[in-house]
Structure 1
Amino acid sequence: MTRDEIREILSKVKGRKILVVGDVMVDEYIWGKIERISPEAPIQVVDVQSENAVMGGAANVVSNLTGLGARVYPVGVVGRDQKGTFLKERLQEQGVRIQGLVTDPGRPTSTKTRIMGQNQQLLRIDREYKTPVSRASESRLLHYIYRQVQDCDAVILSDYGKGVLTPGVLAGTIHAAKKAKKIVIADPKGHDFSRYRGVTCLTPNRKEAEEACGRPVQSRRDMLNAARHLQRILKSRACLITLGKDGMALLNRKDFTVIPTVAREVYDVSGAGDTVIAVLTLVASAGYDLETAAALANTAAGIVVGKVGTARAAPQEILDYDRDTLDTSARKIFMLQELKDQIRSIRKQGRKVVFTNGCFDLLHVGHIRYLQEARRLGDCLVVGLNSDGSVRRLKGKRRPLISQEERAHILSALDCVDYLVIFDELTPLNLLRKLKPDILVKGGDYKKSEVVGADLVESYGGRVALIPVVKGKSTSDIVERIVERYGKGV
C-alpha cells in the first residue's frame, strides 16, 4: 500500500458512523520504581511515582475510532461511581454522545489496575462483575441499538465477558444490523463462538481461536483450518485471527492471506485488539475490501504495541509507518487528545513540561539551538507545529516550502524534541489551554507582552521564557541566498 493510498483511506474514513456495543471499562496505571525486595515476603517493592487512568475495553475501541475522525456511538453499562463518571467525561471530551451508556447502580464500572515498574507490567488487579446485566439494562441497551443502527455505517461488538453482551443483546444487535444491511465485526470472548453467528467478521486472537476450535493454531495450515472452522459455524463472510508477533491471518470468503507483523518494538500489548477491530471496521465501512482494512489494522496495531499502556494510533503515525523506513521519531507525533493524556501522565510524575511553537519551515541551525535551549528548561519539550494551511495564512501563499508531514518528521528526529502536535489555527492558544505547559518558550525577538498565551500560562502558575535567537539565521535569509545564487538556474 502506497503512502498516497493510505492518505486517501484516512481521508475517506473521517466522519464514518460506528456503533460500538460492549464492555466499557477503565484502565488504571500505577507507575513506580523497583529498587528492593520486601523484607516481609520474597516480592518486589514498588515505590509509586505516579498514577493515571485511560479508557479501556470497548471505550478504548471508541477512542481509537475517534482518533481517526469517526463519529462513534458507544453502547454499554457503567456503575454509579467515580469510574463511571470518568468514562463519561472522557468520552464527551472526544465529542462522543453518551446516550447509549446505561448507568446501573447495582454494578461497579469495570476497572483494571496495572502495576508498572521499569515500563513493565508486574501485576493486574480487576474490579468488576461478570454476571449478565439486568433485564432492565438489557432492554434499555437494545432500545438504543434499534434506534441508532439505521443511522450507522457499521457495528462493532467488543466482548470482554463482563456481562453486557448477553445472548439477547448479541442476537438483537446482529439481527438489527443485518436487517439494516450493516457490517458487523465482533471481537469475541469465551469458548462458544456460535453466540456470534451472523456477524460479518470475527477477530479472535490465536489463543481464543485455539480454545474455540480445540486445536493448535501454529502453522499456516492450522490458521487456514481454524479460520474455515469458525467461518462455517458462524456463517460469516470472514474470520481474522490475530497472531501477536506473527501478524494476522485473514480468510475472506475463500481467499486466505497471512499478513506479517510490522511491529518494530513490543512494549505492551494492552489494547492492541481494540485497535485492530477499530481500524478494520472503520476502513471496511468506507467501502474498502477486508484485505485492505486488515493491512491497515495490522500497521496500526504495530504502532500501539510500541507504546506503554492502552494507546491508539494517530493518522500521522499510520501515514509515517513504512516498515522499510520507519524510525522511532514518528512515534513522537501525537493527536491533541492523545498528547493531552500523555502530558497528564508526565505531570503526575512531577516532571516539568516546556512548550514552544512555530512553522519551522526549512529547519536551520538557529531553530536547532533554540529548541535545544528550550529543552534544557524542563524535563520534556512539546512542539506545536503550524499546519500547511496555517503557514499559508501567516506567511503567504508561497509558503510553506516544506510540507507539514516532512516538517513534523524532521523535527521529531531531533533528540531535544519529545512530543509534536500539528495545529491548524493561527495561534497555539487552544493547545496551551488543553496542555497547560509549565513553561512557554518564544524567541528573544519577541517581547513578553507579544507572546500569545503568556497571560494564560501565568494565570495557572506557569512562566514565559524568551530565548535569544541566532542572528543571521532565518528561513527568509536562506531563501534569499538560494534565489541570489541559483535564481537563473544551476
Structure 2
Amino acid sequence: MNASYTPLVVVGDALLDHDLCGRAERLAPDAPVPVVHGTRRSSRPGGAALAACLAAGDGRRVTLVTALGTDPASDTLRELLAGRVDLVEVPLEGSLSSKTRVLAGDRPLLRLDDGEGRAREATQEAVSTVAAADGVLVADYGRGTADVLRAALTHTAAPVVWDPHVRGRPPVPGVRLVTPSAQEARAFARQPADGDDFGDAAGLRTAARDARILVAAWRAQAVAVTLGDRGALLSHGETPLLVPAPAAASGDPCGAGDRFASAAAGLLADGALTEAAVQAAVHAATRYVAEGGARAVAGPERTEPADDAPADGDTTADAVRTAARVRAAGGTVVAAGGCFDLLHAGHVALLQAARRAGDCLIVCVNSDDSVRRRKGDGRPLVPAADRVRVLRALECVDAVAVFDEDTPERILGELRPHIWAKGGDYARTRLPEQPLVESWGGQVLLLPYLDGRSTTVLARRAARTPTPGHPG
C-alpha cells in the first residue's frame, strides 16, 4: 500500500462473475448457433467487489462493505477478495448474484444470471466504517447494500462518489460526484430523447441536458455522464465540460464504469479537484479497457473438459493469468512467438533480450499442425509438448502458450501484451499482427537476431553427420 494515498471505503453490492472463454469457428449442425470449444473458465469479483479491487490496485487501502451470505458463491467471492481488500459484511438474504459470460475470444455470445440475494440489514460495524471513512465510493447495483446504509451515507463527512444503477435508489443529497452512464442518466432523468438528433450524433446535447436535470434533482455537487470511448461529460448544473478519452481503446469494456468511478473516488479522497479527478478517471478507464479489462482481476482459470482438447496440452490459461497478474501490478507484459523447433542460441538470445524489455515474457508457440502447415510435412522435428517443456525451463521465460492458427492474432488478443517482440529479420516486413497489437496501445519491437543460427541449417547439418557405427 502507498501511505500517501487516502484509504477508501467502497459500499455496494458485490457480485461473482464467471467467464467461459473459447474459440467459435463453426455453427452447430442442429441449430444456427456457434459452437464454443477449448473453453477456459475464470471467476472474478464483480460489481462493488470489482470496484474495490480496482481501487486497491491503485495502491490504496480499501475496505469493502457489502452483503454476503452462506451460499457457495459468497464463499468463492471471499476467497477471491482475500488479501486484496478489507471486508466488512452485512447479512445477505438469499444467494449472491452471479453472472456467467460465454465468449468467443473477446466477443460475448451469451450471459447467464443466477441469484437474487439482497442485503437484509445494516450492522454496527458497517455503520461505523462509513462514519470513519476518509473517502467513499458507493457502487450501487440495486441489491440493497446502499439502501440499508443510507442513513450513514447521508451523514458522512467524507467526499462521496456514487455510481448508480437503474435498479437502485437515487444517491443521497450532497454527494460530491455521481457517475451514471449515458443510458442510466437517460433513464434517471426520465426525459424523452431529442426528436431532432441532427448535430447530436455523439449524444452530447442529450447527455448535457440529463446531467443538468440530475444535478438539481439529486442535489449533487456534480454529475459525470460516462460516454464509453468518447470520454465523459462533467456538469455542475451549468455549462458542461467534455473530457475526451485520450485514445480509442479496443477491448472488453466490462467493468470500465467501475474503473472510472473507483479512480475518481480515490482522487477526490486525496483532495483532487473534481475536474482533475474526472480527467484522470477517463484516462484510467481507457487504459483499463486497452489492457484487457476485468480479466486483470480474474482468479485462476481452469480448462473445461473437451473432446477436442489439443493433445499437446493447453498452457494458455497459465499465460493469460500471468499477463493479467503483471498488468494488475502495473508491469509491462512482453510476448514473443515462433515455432522454436530445435531451440538454439539464436532463439535464446532473442528471448533473453525480450525479457529485459519488460516484467514478464510469454512465449507463443505454433502447435504441431501449425508448424506442419508452415514448414512442410517433415516438421516439426520436436513435438509441441517437448518444445513447451524446454522453453519453460529457460529462466527468461515466464509462461508459454500454444496456438493452432497460422498467425498468433487470437492468442495475442487474449494476452494483450504491451510489447510484441520479433527477430530483426522482420525489419523490412509489416507483420500481419501489428495492427492488432497497436489497437490496444501495444508496440511491436524488433530485436537483434544472431546470424548463422537456424533450425533448418541445424537440421541439414545433422542429416549430413554420420551416425556412429554406420558409414558416412
RMSD (Å) for aligned C-alpha atoms: 3.6
User: In structure 1, what is the equivalent of residue 25 of structure 2?
Assistant: 35
CA displacement 1:458-488 (0-9 Å, x = unmatched): xxxxxxxxxxxx99xxxxxxxxxxxxxxxxx
Structure-1 separation of matches of 2:227 and 2:122: 36
Distance 1:51 1:20 in 2: 27
Per-residue Cα deviation, 1:362-400 (whole angstroms, up to 9, x for no partner): xxxxx995463469xxxxx9x5x7xxxxxxxxxxxxxxx
Deviation, 1:190, is: 1.6
Check conservation: 1:80, 1:103, Cα contact below 8 A.
Answer: no
When you count helix as a share of all residues, which structure comes out higher? 1
Match of 1:441 among 388, 394, 398: 394
The residue type paired with residue 169 of structure 1 is L
Counterpart CA distance in 1 for 2:5 and 2:111 is 36
Relative to structure 1, the CA distance from residue 265 to residue 191 in structure 2 (aligned partners, 3 Å threshold; closer, same or farther) is: same
Deviation at 1:194, TM superposition (A): 4.0
Q: Secondary structure of the equivalent of 2:82?
A: helix
Normalization by structure 2: what TM-score? 0.63
Mapping 1:112-191, distance limit 5 Å: 112-129=99-116, 132-134=118-120, 138-140=121-123, 143-166=124-147, 168-170=148-150, 172-177=151-156, 181-190=157-166
Equivalent residue for 2:314, pick from 350, 372, 375: 350
Write the distance in 2 (CA, Å) between the matches of 1:70 and 1:91: 15
Aligned equivalents of 1:346, 1:125: Cα separation in 2: 19
Contact 2:141 2:167 in 1 (8 A): no
1:150 and 1:417 map into 2 onto residues whose CA distance is: 51
> Structure 1: how far apart are the matches of 2:220 and 2:346?
55
**Match of 1:90?**
80
Cα shift readout 1:122-142 (whole Å, capped 9, x = no counterpart)? 011111216x432xxx132xx
Relative distance call for 1:417 and 1:66 in structure 2 (3 A) is: farther
Name the SS for the 1:305 alignment partner. Answer: helix
Q: In the TM superposition, what is the alpha-carbon distance from 1:26 to its structure 2 partner?
A: 1.1
1:360 corresponds in structure 2 to none
Q: Residue 174 of structure 1 contacts residue 198 of structure 1 at CA under 8 Å; is this kept in 2?
A: no
Question: 2: distance between equivalents of 1:20 and 1:345?
Answer: 26
**Aligned counterpart, 2:188:** 212
C-alpha change, 1:258 and 1:108, in structure 2 (3 Å) is same
SS at match of 1:20: strand
Q: Contact 2:21 / 2:39 at 8 angstroms: preserved in 1? A: yes
Does residue 1:107 correspond to 2:94, yes or no? Answer: yes
SS at 1:147's partner residue? Answer: helix
- Read off the aligned partner of 1:114 and give its amino acid letter: R
Post-superposition offset of 1:311: 4.7
What displacement does 1:347 show?
Answer: 7.7
Residue 442 of structure 1 deviates from its aligned partner by 3.4
Structure 2 unaligned blocks of 5 or more = 195-199, 305-312, 327-344, 366-389, 397-448, 451-472
Partner of 1:77: 67
3-state SS in 2 of match to 1:33? strand
Letter matched to residue 263 of structure 2? V
Equivalent AA in structure 2 for residue 102 of structure 1: V
- The partner residue of 1:251 within 232, 235, 241 is 235
Q: State the secondary structure of the residue aligned to 1:139.
A: coil
The Cα shift of 1:150 comes to: 3.9
Q: How many pairs are equivalent?
A: 336
SS of corresponding position for 1:32: strand
Amino acid at match of 1:262: P
Q: 2:262 aligns with which of 275, 278, 290?
A: 278
Confirm whether residue 265 of structure 1 aligns to residue 249 of structure 2.
yes
Q: Which runs of 5+ in 1 are unaligned?
A: 1-9, 313-337, 358-366, 376-380, 386-406, 419-436, 444-469, 472-490
User: How far apart in 2 are the matches of 1:438 and 1:165?
Assistant: 50
1:21 matches 2:11: yes
The 1-side partners of 2:362 and 2:128 are apart by 51
Higher alpha-carbon Rg? 2
Deviation at 1:86, TM superposition (A): 2.0
* Partners of 1:266 and 1:25 in 2: CA distance: 25
TM value normalised by structure 1:
0.61
Q: Kindly indicate whether the alpha-carbon contact (under 8 Å) linking 1:149 and 1:176 is maintained by their aligned counterparts in 2.
A: no
Percent identity (aligned): 24
